[in-house]
Amino acid sequence: MNLIEFLDTVVGLNVLSEISKNSIFLIEHNLLLGCTKINDQVSEDVEVFINWA
């Protein structure tokens, strides 16, 4: 299960319709690097989901 599938399951939202594929890549890339700062391109809602998870 990737990050977007996880968010879809937990939040019950179609995350792909909310943010661009580029932003999805940036989220996953930042998580792989162990970064806590989410790229500014990502919506605040997604940042909240990630912090909650």
Helix segments in the chain, DSSP class H: 3-11, 21-32, 44-52
Q: What is the mean pLDDT of residues 1-12?
A: 67
Helix (H) or strand (E) holding 6: helix 3-11
Statement: residue 6 has pLDDT above 70: yes
Give the start-to-end residue ranges of the domains of the chain: 3-9+20-52
pTM (predicted TM-score): 0.22
Mention every residue, 6+ apart, whose C-beta is less than 8 A from residue 48.
none
Return the number of other C-beta atoms located less than 10 Å from residue 44's C-beta: 8
pLDDT digits (tens, 9 = 90+) for 8-53: 666 655 555 565 566 666 666 666 555 444 455 565 666 666 666 5
